[in-house]
Structure 1
Amino acid sequence: MNEKNLLKPLRSHKIALPIFMFAGGAIGNLIAIIVLSVSRQERKSSAFFTLVRGLAVTDLLGTCLASPLTIATYLKRTVLEDQHICEFHSFLLLFFGLTGLSIICAMAGERYLAICCPYTYQRWGVDKRFAQKFLFFIYITNIFFCCLPMMGMAESILQTSQTWCFIDMRTHEPVATAYSVLYGAVSLLLILGTILLNLAVCGSLLLMRQRTVQRPVTRASVRERWRALSSAAETQMIAVLVMTSVVVLACSAPLMVRVFANHFMPKPDPTADRAAIRIASVNPILDPWIYILLRRSLFRRLLSLSRRSSSTRSSALPSPQRNVFYPDIMRDSHVFTQLMCNANIISQLPTAVKFTPYDGESLPQT
């Protein structure tokens, strides 16, 4: 009796962490979905923010389905000993981990097409409906791929800590080993693809920004003028993409490393495996706060602070471009106009050219 009484406070202390993570993930993603749904600026960039909402919904579903099983395990250790429940828990971890990486890669691909290949983006008709169809494709393919262990291709086992189930990462059975390595390889390719696409987008934006500052935009080059404008208007979305990518990749990479390490390193390390899955569980808690915090109002404040800092530095040195910053810019409520002024291109546009705010779907109208 004394030993049981001593174990009760310890068990209560351990169960507090999964409860806190469940509450944080569920509440944060609900707030993020509401914020994304009511924002005007996000609706204008429908394809990108449809994918963002899809990621928020995915994180919410993953939290609401997987966390209760973990909490139940702390209350009763035998919950995951049932093979069907163990396979279901393993499927949840496989599916939501891979789906999050897939949506992040799709977001990076959408931004790459919009900025680096604008006419391909227009020709393919990348809009809200296109993004919804692509999300459906991601869900269907990942459900099929992650159901393969339940069809006999791999075995889901209760891990050493007895708080989570996953595919057997130390098996020597050829088919199960092939599936485990394939899952890790697909996840790794998604991570590398996201990194490369983000680097390409950021590099393209930097080049366009440099060309806009160094060379005036002429009437003859409509395409270059549109690309310069789009590079300014996309800044806020790129901030969301980069921050979300960093969080998702940092949280997912340790588990992928453990998948390969368990196959190619002779000595198992259950502590490292448990740490990797805990880090992956933090991802749906952090993601929604990126969408919440990187709002238009906060983004404008950060942009204003950056501009003031740059103005202070430029005032200390003589420069022919002292008038590139406009102190009264923050009175304009439209982010697009603010960024255009910051890029010093409004004064260079011909009066005969009429531009519409870039929404990822239309070109400037002449």
Structure 2
Amino acid sequence: MMLAGGKPKGFSRELTEAMAVPVLMFAVGVIGNIIAIAALSGSKQERKSSAFFALVCGLAVTDLLGTCLASPITIATYLNENVLYDNTNLCEFHSFLLLFFGVAGLSIICAMSAERYLAICCPYTYQRWGIDQHFARKCLFCIYLSNIAFCCLPVMGMAGSICQPTKTWCFINWRADKTLPATYSFLYASVSFLLILMTIVLNFAVCGNLLIMRRRKIQSPVTRGSARARWKALSSGVEAQMMTVLMVTSVVVLGCSAPLVVRVFSNQITWTENSHADLMAIRIASVNAILDPWIYILLRRTLFRKIQRFSKVFYIGRKGKAPISIIDSTMGSSIWLNHSYVYVLHKQ
């Protein structure tokens, strides 16, 4: 999503200070998504065949494209504040980028949550539908196609795009007094809200199901003490890791996307202009594209393993002995829960 900023007040020092935020966000967004794509490219072949992997790749590429296409236009407005104001076609294109990459990112995140829900809560349906990387790619294609059609409606005359008061970004006319443009504003906000709600509900459903699975394992009769203790350590680590990713995802999606949805509803209902609140909402929405790669790649793998090592050291310091690690020292393997089974994936 594009990185919006406030209108610069001067040309030298003031201009540099005003450009600092959008330039920094642009750099962090590009670097983060490139790191994510590079990390995914180096994954083992068995991981690349999963649907979740394909959706993560699609999200990283989508965020990178959105940042690279829209952010330079915003940065250019600091050098010439009339770039968007005097160019209607560029303003409509900029508005389209904002609309499309905003709802496309939410759609892919929702699809990822749905994939995890089916894999964990409905494994037989997941297997019967044959959900794999090819299925995920078809899903990504449908997401792109439908969202392009949806976000092209303003350009086709359903709603107008206007340059916002700061002159650094364009968006739909969300204070329209005509029925058709107002309908589109409500429609866009409603679709975004439903995607956010579905993502959060699916993630909580997965976490709840994992907790139930964990409780059943604990309450199951012991047949072989050593084997069960090892299984508990393995499954506990997987469940904790997965729940951490899903919960953080829910918080980020809600925190980053909700303000813009609220501003769309508020502007169209009250017609009260608050350019500062609109600016902050679009900036916060832009942070979503920056945080996504760190959640799905670095948090799931690198950071979580560091937390494990830190917890192990802390546990040794307090108890005087090491717990059973979720990393198999003899095989050098890490695990990830998919379908109704536990697959063993070799470390990279």
User: In the alignment, is the contact (CA less than 8 A) between 1:45 and 1:359 conserved in 2?
Assistant: no
Confirm whether residue 113 of structure 1 aligns to residue 118 of structure 2.
yes
State the AA in 2 paired with 1:34.
A
Aligned match of 1:100: 105
Aligned match of 2:198: 193
User: In the alignment, is the contact (CA less than 8 A) between 1:127 and 1:361 conserved in 2?
Assistant: no
Relative to 1, partners in 2 of residues 1:295 and 1:206: Cα closer, same or farther, differing over 3 Å? closer
Q: Mean Cα displacement is larger for which, 71-80 or 175-184? A: 71-80
Relative to 1, partners in 2 of residues 1:284 and 1:363: Cα closer, same or farther, differing over 3 Å? closer
Confirm whether residue 69 of structure 1 aligns to residue 68 of structure 2.
no
Report the Cα offset of residue 152 of structure 1: 0.2
Report the Cα offset of residue 102 of structure 1: 0.5
Report the Cα offset of residue 286 of structure 1: 2.0
Relative to 1, partners in 2 of residues 1:25 and 1:133: Cα closer, same or farther, differing over 3 Å? same
Relative to 1, partners in 2 of residues 1:208 and 1:359: Cα closer, same or farther, differing over 3 Å? closer
Whole-Å Cα distance in 2 between the matches of residues 189 and 6 of structure 1?
A: 41
Report the Cα offset of residue 298 of structure 1: 3.7
Of 56, 61, 65 in structure 1, the residue corresponding to residue 60 of structure 2 is 56
1:55-77 deviation digits (Å, cap 9, x = unpaired): 11110000000101001111111
Of 120, 125, 142 in structure 1, the residue corresponding to residue 147 of structure 2 is 142
Confirm whether residue 280 of structure 1 aligns to residue 270 of structure 2.
no
SS state of the match for residue 335, structure 1? strand
State the AA in 2 paired with 1:72.
A
User: In the alignment, is the contact (CA less than 8 A) between 2:84 and 2:91 conserved in 1?
Assistant: yes
Confirm whether residue 34 of structure 1 aligns to residue 32 of structure 2.
no
Aligned match of 2:260: 255
1:61-104 deviation digits (Å, cap 9, x = unpaired): 00000101001111111110211000000000000000111011
1:190-214 deviation digits (Å, cap 9, x = unpaired): 1110111011000000011011011
Whole-Å Cα distance in 1 between the matches of residues 38 and 325 of structure 2?
A: 33
Q: Mean Cα displacement is larger for which, 115-124 or 69-78? A: 69-78
Larger Rg: 1
SS state of the match for residue 162, structure 2? strand
1:342-364 deviation digits (Å, cap 9, x = unpaired): xxxxxxxxxxxxxxx86549799
Number of residue pairs matched? Answer: 326
Whole-Å Cα distance in 1 between the matches of residues 60 and 199 of structure 2?
A: 18
SS state of the match for residue 148, structure 1? coil
Relative to 1, partners in 2 of residues 1:80 and 1:360: Cα closer, same or farther, differing over 3 Å? same
Confirm whether residue 211 of structure 1 aligns to residue 216 of structure 2.
yes
State the AA in 2 paired with 1:24.
V
Q: Give the alignment's Cα RMSD to 1 decimal.
A: 3.1
SS state of the match for residue 60, structure 2? helix
1:105-149 deviation digits (Å, cap 9, x = unpaired): 101100000000000000000100000100000000000000000
Of 86, 95, 104 in structure 2, the residue corresponding to residue 90 of structure 1 is 95
Report the Cα offset of residue 22 of structure 1: 1.3
SS state of the match for residue 167, structure 2? coil
Q: How does 1:284-303 map to 2 (within 5 A)?
A: 284-303=289-308
Whole-Å Cα distance in 2 between the matches of residues 63 and 106 of structure 1?
A: 21
Report the Cα offset of residue 289 of structure 1: 2.2
1:294-322 deviation digits (Å, cap 9, x = unpaired): 25354234235446767888x79xxxxx9
Aligned match of 1:166: 171
User: In the alignment, is the contact (CA less than 8 A) between 1:116 and 1:201 conserved in 2?
Assistant: yes
SS state of the match for residue 166, structure 1? strand
Relative to 1, partners in 2 of residues 1:95 and 1:131: Cα closer, same or farther, differing over 3 Å? same
Q: Mean Cα displacement is larger for which, 268-277 or 293-302? A: 293-302
Whole-Å Cα distance in 2 between the matches of residues 42 and 185 of structure 1?
A: 38
Relative to 1, partners in 2 of residues 1:16 and 1:169: Cα closer, same or farther, differing over 3 Å? same
Report the Cα offset of residue 279 of structure 1: 0.9
Whole-Å Cα distance in 1 between the matches of residues 10 and 264 of structure 2?
A: 36
Aligned match of 1:335: 334
State the AA in 2 paired with 1:174.
T
SS state of the match for residue 216, structure 1? coil
Aligned match of 1:46: 50
Whole-Å Cα distance in 1 between the matches of residues 89 and 138 of structure 2?
A: 31
Whole-Å Cα distance in 1 between the matches of residues 276 and 139 of structure 2?
A: 37
- Percent of residue pairs bearing the same amino acid type: 60
Unpaired runs of 5+ residues, structure 2, are 1-8, 224-230, 344-348
TM-score normalised by the chain length of structure 1: 0.80
User: In the alignment, is the contact (CA less than 8 A) between 1:87 and 1:156 conserved in 2?
Assistant: yes
User: In the alignment, is the contact (CA less than 8 A) between 1:255 and 1:277 conserved in 2?
Assistant: yes
User: In the alignment, is the contact (CA less than 8 A) between 1:115 and 1:231 conserved in 2?
Assistant: no
Report the Cα offset of residue 50 of structure 1: 1.0
The runs of at least 4 consecutive aligned structure 1 residues that moved more than 3 Å come to: 228-242, 295-298, 303-313, 327-330, 357-364
SS state of the match for residue 221, structure 2? coil
Aligned match of 1:154: 159
Whole-Å Cα distance in 1 between the matches of residues 295 and 337 of structure 2?
A: 23
SS state of the match for residue 331, structure 1? coil
User: In the alignment, is the contact (CA less than 8 A) between 1:248 and 1:287 conserved in 2?
Assistant: no
SS state of the match for residue 150, structure 1? coil
